[in-house]
Structure 1
Amino acid sequence: MSNFIVRKAAVLGAGVMGAQIAAHLANADVPVVLFDLPAATGDANGIVRKAIDGLRRLDPSPLASKDRVAYIDAANYGADLEQLRDCDLIIEAIAERMEWKDELYRRIAPFIAPTAIIASNTSGLSINRLAEALPEVLRSRFCGIHFFNPPRYMHLVELIATRGTAPALLDDLESWLVSRLGKGIVRALDTPNFVANRVGVFSILAVMHHTQRLGLGFDVVDSLTGPIIGRPKSATYRTADVVGLDTLAHVIKTMQDTLPADPWHGYYGVPVWLAALIGKGALGQKTRAGIFRKEGRAIKVLDLALQDYRDSAGEIDGGVLAILKQRDPAVRFAQLRASEHPQAQFLWAIFRDIFHYTAFHLADIADNARDLDFAMRWGFGWAQGPFETWQAAGWRSIAEAVQADIEAGRAMSQAPLPEWVFGRVADEGVHGPQGSYSASADAYRPRSTLPVYRRQLFPERVLGETAVVGETVWENDGVRLWTLPQVDAGIAIVSVKSRNHTLGRDVIVGMQEAVARAEAAYQGLVLWHEAPFAFGANLKEVAEAIKAGDFELLEKYVAEFQNTSMALKYAQVPVVAAVQGMALGGGCEFLMHAAKRVIALESYIGLVEAGVGLIPAGGGCKEFAIRAAQAATRTGGNDPFEFIQPVFMTIAMATVSKSGAQAKELGFAVEADRIVFNAHELLYVALREARGLAEAGYYPRLSPRGVKVAGRTGIANCEMMLANMKEGGMISAHDYTVARAAATALCGGEVETGSLVDERWLLTVERKLFVELLQNPKTQQRIQHMLETGKPLRN
């Protein structure tokens, strides 16, 4: 077995998608050459350089850290095609014009290495047809690789084989995409718009049809088709604005042109009102006007009756809202179907028609129901795929209701439901322990057996699949200590159980017990649970103690928190923190004290205590003071303040990293820590890291003594920065107070510059300052405001 290695990649096309695909390749430490046409004037690579420069300004950023842009080289088709010879992977991402792609393929073919993979990022054109433009010798190494926008953040990649694609190539590419780029792969069939766009665009067309049929407002429909039914906040019409109304129209036209025999073909057209918007240049978010338009702070929505924009309200009827809040999906769907309210009729209709459509087309567009459901979850942000939703609501009863509506002429198509819907699937479910149903094979398909998926100990599952639970060793109300004997019985795992993984007393006490038990009976300990990693201290407990005036209890709580951090740091077995999602406040401090960190790329890490008028006191300030002293000893100046200054601003401004990679830049993680692109591999990698440390004879370093601190001079230097910020109106008086406390903790307290202290001294300083701030009415106001609104108060 040979290794599959991508040393260098090329992306053809520096448009929105091409540039961002290049950025994500660079995120994954793959150097990439980004190509486009030569500029008509000036720098021949001007088009590409402009695209690369644009990556720096996008928000959310396609770049995991600023330095990644240096690994994207600019090139053009006129002078630089020789550079393709060094590329192991070439991704074409130019405009969706078949003739343009044909011409480009013929042009680049002589420069493609015989072992390179070439793939098209087309969102719906035929992969088999595209392959015809390539020489026969290259066709076995050609496939479709459809990223979703934005490529860094969207989990789905559709992988599409041609009739001649080498099967081993697809397996290698899938494994690489899953682990190196962190993607969820669906093997799509070569049908128009593949899986996610085929179903997703039909879903949008169904919503548009029933919106108009029932006379509902676009804002009302977005309220009905958003989070309340498990769809993204952008719902339907705001999603269309974000995608671009012209782009949506293009995808609709692909279906109209290529699916003439489809029973729903009559609906594959751009509605008149949508065509009118496009004709006026109102293309959505990119033109600042589409179905919605922002005027100052007000959001306006197009009203077809008025032929103008009005204030967006989007109120859901109370009775319909009560139905949607029913916990039992079977009851919910039965009541929606029975209701005469237009909003309820609308919801039943859009679900009925998507159930009908996906059942009818499953054999044509996807290998199995799991692939289709994952495509909608990963590509369109649905909480459940259509088959999962159907199964949860009672497969047989929904099938009978859908069939009744078809026979009564109420459905969008008169095509009957396929026979398999009423066969064994009605009894066994479309998803189950044996796999997911394949209509084309009339069999249940198990999950992929590619070795890469063994790294996913807790993969994302569809409804009906069984999950691994592990063996519990010990637990309290705050944490669970457990193992996965089938992976490594010698490494224990500790998981926080509290809501949002806040770090209350049960967690603090439980974590200390978990460390003690790991030291007694295991070779290592991994701190892991599904996102978020931790949202910090339990503010409700803190607020209750403040209200009771029990500041002595609060100081004991902080001291216990610090003891837990120290237990993690000085455990006699390696503690590895496996971090995913938010790791804020105390959660950040916990990971800072671990022997090693394994961090998912999409992790957002920071010491955000300033937002509630506090400073880090679980050892965060102490750790930065120690690191500054250690870094200073390696420089000629031997001045810790040089390393305190950037950290001080990070804490004072409650800066949160926007990626795991940026967490290293901010100092929350260190260079040796692992960044994992696929969060489902996080626990596997953390267990391996813990095992590796244990096998290497791990023992904790001794607590540092003689820590040189910046002292009063360092505090004064920080105060000068704060004074300028206050005078400039950037911070409030209380922001100043809080930031000065952070400076004092980072600089080792009110001591002479250059004083030598130990770790316990630093902990005492930050704890005392923390409790003093808790007694400040302004901080108390911030804590209460955060509890009531979930947002920081600037007072």
Structure 2
Amino acid sequence: MNQTIQKVAVLGSGVMGSRIACHFANIGVQVLLLDIVPRELNDKEKAKGLTLEDKAVRNRIVNDALQSTLKSNPSPIYDKAFVSRITTGNFDDDLDKIKDVDWTIEVVVERLDIKQQVFEKVEKHRKPGTFISSNTSGIPIHLMTEGRSEDFKKFFCGTHFFNPPRYLELLEIIPTKHTDPQVIDFLMKYSDVNLGKTTVLAKDTPAFIANRVGIFGIMDLFNSVQELGLSVEDVDKLTGPVIGRPKSATFRTADVVGLDTLIHVANGLYENVKQDERNTTFKLPEFLNKMQENNWLGSKSGQGFYKKVKDKDGKSEILSLDLDTLEYTSQSKTKFPVLDQTKGIDKVVDRFKVLAGAKDKAGEFYRKSFAGLFAYVSNRIPEISDELFRIDEAMRAGFGWQHGPFEIWDAIGVEKGLQFAKDEGHEVAGWVREMLDAGFKSFYEVKDGIQHYYSIPDKKMVEVPGVRELIILDHIRESKTVWKNEDCSVIDLGDGILNVEFHSKMNSLGGGVLAGINKGIELAEKEYRGVVIANQGQNFTVGANLGMIFMMAVEQEYDELNFAVKHFQDTMMRIRYSSVPVVVAPHNMTLGGGCEATLHADAVQASAESYIGLVEFGVGVIPGGGGSKELTKRAGDRYVKDDIELNAYRENLIKIAQAKVSTSAVEAFNLGYLVEGRDGITMNKRRLIADAKEKCIALAETGYSKPIKEKNVKVLGKQALGAFIVGAHQMMEGGYASEYEKKMVESLGNVMSGGPLSEATEVSEQYLLDLEREAFVKLCANKKTMERIQHMLQTGKPLRN
């Protein structure tokens, strides 16, 4: 199907509609956002003498909704300037404009009769052959097509975006029996590549895939938590990051989403899946009924499973709900020995067997919850999906699980999972035993670097669709690693490209990672064509190894510290001046030294969700791995005739002093961390390394030559330094900086002005690196910097001193 999406209409501007509109604007699509006309004037409109015929009134609902969305945090849009891509209007005056759009997405209230009325009007204006979909989380998709034309039915399907659509990766696409398969193929691929979604093909069953399984898991836990004698905070401790789930875990997530939403979906499932063997699990427990009666609906009502209060001294405390008494109490400090055992197990997937095997109450909890989950998902095939991998994809992308149910089952062992289910009285679907009896010991396996899953109809392992378009390091690391140490691996991606992968704690940049970067470039210069620096951890990197710096400073080993900083600088310069192209592919947090690696690359291919910045001021130092030098150089490169030359340097100094981190890859371009025309953005993080590899190949094939070291970096000398010192003083006087932060700004200003130079001068990069390193080491000798580093190591939060 040869189609393009240049214009989209979003019908309904509520919480989901406005955010879907913003995300299409993020990718450069023109959006028409429509909603109903108000039935009466509000007080402000009456005061202005407006009437119901005035455009400002007629578009008030849609405009207010969009503005409310734009104020939300985190932002649904990459750049406020992108709002200009959204045109607002109303159903009465502007619905005819959908004749010019390529895709119409309905996001009105969840009532079938209203949706059908909207579609009847849409069909009068929609251009045949254009896509039409309903964003619904519960209404059967096939019922919406009643009375519609053949062309409408052919191009219609359900599209269930998860909220917020910018950040949650899942998009369930639900065809009807009338939907043209080519339409589904197009939307699956377009939404994957362009919108950055994990697109999961779902069946037209209640709650589709992710909510069916996810709400079951929550309700199963709600119905068993009191039996196990666990508190709300106990459960959240057991169901959070330790098993690869979000920090908000279970009860806190329910508060954030809203208990009314959870209750609505659970009640819908209880009523609509009577044939489900676990139907009663969706029945609300008594404590949830009481919370609904009390309007304790979570964050939106000020209290739910948690409640924030202040004591008589004004100190805040977060209380938790006792599910037996329905009273709020101080949180307990329950210790689970097995959690201590897993602290040294970095990979989440390796923890499941340990957790489920524990002899304490936590182990009992995990065995019980996994038993129910495993049996449940096995019995949902083929009801909600014909393929097991789609259930795993939906749970990862929609609920933020690092591992889906069948992946967890594999990690524990299929036989062991069957025993858990039997012990709890659950019946697992027969196909699982048939799979084992046929000699298949797991749901997944990797052959020649390609992931396969067990296909129930075929009774054999089948390649996961689309996986050949991706590079998944976990699948090739074992067979394609050409060099490794404890913190870093150099992996052959094929086609002459090596990948340098960090796998240190939090991907911090210590000696092992630096050794890996240097080794990867060395190997590539001898036998390969280029290097990609990328990993698939939770974050690209949180920056340099602070613990190592702290220990050297505590021991006053300043020569060793100077040497370590120089080694870091030399590694960054090796990235820049290698004889093969080096492409850095950041994602999520790319802080400190990670930003410096990005700044020195030949090119960058960034995930759309890349949070890039030089954050060293937070720990009392300046960027010491070439970051201060590079922003000085880029300020000189940016100078435009007739501009005040000092402005560019001051801007970059402030970025460092404020530890400015981009909120997206788009903002990283605006901040000057990424370079227009050279660097690129990948919307779907799963495609990032494959895209970076292609960029590296392109550089190699278009005549890449080793850059010449720069010796003409312009600095402004005393003129700039004086301005920087005055600025630092003003920041302190205005309350924006402490006295010590003033000293740090002056130290940075000395580097960025070129040190003891009386006038504007051209210097080498090495000259600036030496100044930068000297300033870094001197700051590390200061007690206040030591306090900042120690506080960050202990709490993970910056200290202002």
Query: Given the alignment of the two structures, is residue 617 of structure 1 paired with residue 624 of structure 2, yes or no?
Result: yes
Q: Secondary structure of 1:446's partner?
A: strand
Q: 1:47 to 1:748 in 2, by over 3 A?
A: farther
1:80 & 1:445 partners in 2: Cα distance? 52
1:478 & 1:507 partners in 2: Cα distance? 6
What one-letter code is carried by the residue in structure 1 that aligns with 2:175?
Answer: A
Query: Given the alignment of the two structures, is residue 435 of structure 1 paired with residue 452 of structure 2, yes or no?
Result: yes
Q: Secondary structure of 2:402's partner?
A: coil
Query: Given the alignment of the two structures, is residue 104 of structure 1 paired with residue 123 of structure 2, yes or no?
Result: no
Query: Given the alignment of the two structures, is residue 249 of structure 1 paired with residue 263 of structure 2, yes or no?
Result: yes
Greater alpha carbon shift after TM alignment, 149-158 vs 385-394: 385-394
Q: Tell me the equivalent position of 2:665.
A: 660
1:136 & 1:585 partners in 2: Cα distance? 57
Query: Given the alignment of the two structures, is residue 483 of structure 1 paired with residue 483 of structure 2, yes or no?
Result: no
Q: 1:454 to 1:398 in 2, by over 3 A?
A: closer
Structure 1 residues 427-466: aligned runs within 5 Å: 427-428=439-440, 429-433=442-446, 435-439=452-456, 441=457, 443-444=459-460, 446-450=462-466, 453-458=467-472
Q: Tell me the equivalent position of 1:378.
A: 397
Q: Tell me the equivalent position of 1:792.
A: 798
Q: Tell me the equivalent position of 1:11.
A: 10
Q: Secondary structure of 2:453's partner?
A: strand
* CA displacement at 1:496 relative to structure 2: 3.6
- Which of 203, 209, 218 lines up with 1:189 in the alignment? 203
Query: Given the alignment of the two structures, is residue 358 of structure 1 paired with residue 372 of structure 2, yes or no?
Result: no
* CA displacement at 1:709 relative to structure 2: 2.1
1:154 & 1:299 partners in 2: Cα distance? 27
* CA displacement at 1:703 relative to structure 2: 3.7
- 1:307-351 Cα shifts (integer Å, max 9, x gaps): 432223262555897799997755654556xx6x5x655443332
Q: 1:787 to 1:331 in 2, by over 3 A?
A: closer
- 1:738-774 Cα shifts (integer Å, max 9, x gaps): 1221222222224234333332322222122122212
Query: Given the alignment of the two structures, is residue 556 of structure 1 paired with residue 556 of structure 2, yes or no?
Result: no
Q: Secondary structure of 2:587's partner?
A: strand
Query: Given the alignment of the two structures, is residue 765 of structure 1 paired with residue 776 of structure 2, yes or no?
Result: no
Gaps of 5+ in 2: 42-55, 311-315
Q: 1:301 to 1:697 in 2, by over 3 A?
A: same
Q: 1:257 to 1:473 in 2, by over 3 A?
A: closer
* CA displacement at 1:251 relative to structure 2: 0.7
Q: 1:389 to 1:101 in 2, by over 3 A?
A: same
1:368 & 1:682 partners in 2: Cα distance? 25
Q: 1:640 to 1:158 in 2, by over 3 A?
A: same
1:300 & 1:64 partners in 2: Cα distance? 35
Q: Is the 8 A contact 2:355 2:366 kept in 1?
A: no
- 1:380-407 Cα shifts (integer Å, max 9, x gaps): 222332222233323224324423542x
Gaps of 5+ in 1: none
Q: Tell me the equivalent position of 1:631.
A: 638
* CA displacement at 1:165 relative to structure 2: 0.8
- Which of 156, 176, 179 lines up with 1:162 in the alignment? 176
Query: Given the alignment of the two structures, is residue 691 of structure 1 paired with residue 697 of structure 2, yes or no?
Result: yes
* Equivalent pairs, count: 769
Structure 1 residues 17-416: aligned runs within 5 Å: 17-40=16-39, 41=41, 42-214=56-228, 216-296=230-310, 297-313=316-332, 315-316=334-335, 318=337, 329=352, 332-333=355-356, 335=358, 345-406=364-425, 416=427
Greater alpha carbon shift after TM alignment, 386-395 vs 315-324: 315-324
Q: Is the 8 A contact 2:15 2:69 kept in 1?
A: no
Q: Secondary structure of 2:514's partner?
A: helix
Q: Secondary structure of 2:237's partner?
A: helix
2:508 & 2:317 partners in 1: Cα distance? 35
Q: Is the 8 A contact 1:425 1:437 kept in 2?
A: no
- 1:257-312 Cα shifts (integer Å, max 9, x gaps): 32223333333333343233333333211122222211142112223443432223
Q: Secondary structure of 2:92's partner?
A: coil
CA RMSD of aligned residues (A): 2.7
What one-letter code is carried by the residue in structure 1 that aligns with 2:453?
Answer: S
- 1:433-462 Cα shifts (integer Å, max 9, x gaps): 4833455x3634634545xx5431218x8x
- 1:394-425 Cα shifts (integer Å, max 9, x gaps): 3224324423542xxxx5xxxx4332232223
- TM-score where L is the length of structure 1: 0.91
- Which of 595, 603, 608 lines up with 1:601 in the alignment? 608
Q: Secondary structure of 2:93's partner?
A: coil
Q: 1:142 to 1:306 in 2, by over 3 A?
A: same
Q: 1:494 to 1:394 in 2, by over 3 A?
A: closer
Q: Is the 8 A contact 2:636 2:649 kept in 1?
A: no
Q: Tell me the equivalent position of 1:590.
A: 597
Greater alpha carbon shift after TM alignment, 658-667 vs 513-522: 513-522
1:561 & 1:335 partners in 2: Cα distance? 43
1:362 & 1:476 partners in 2: Cα distance? 42
- Which of 676, 681, 684 lines up with 2:687 in the alignment? 681
Q: Is the 8 A contact 1:55 1:63 kept in 2?
A: no
Q: Is the 8 A contact 2:510 2:545 kept in 1?
A: yes
Q: 1:352 to 1:567 in 2, by over 3 A?
A: closer
Q: Is the 8 A contact 1:542 1:554 kept in 2?
A: yes
Identity, in percent, stands at 36
Q: Is the 8 A contact 1:323 1:335 kept in 2?
A: no
- 1:149-179 Cα shifts (integer Å, max 9, x gaps): 1111112111111101111111111111111
2:340 & 2:554 partners in 1: Cα distance? 37
Q: Is the 8 A contact 1:585 1:609 kept in 2?
A: yes
- Which of 696, 719, 722 lines up with 1:713 in the alignment? 719
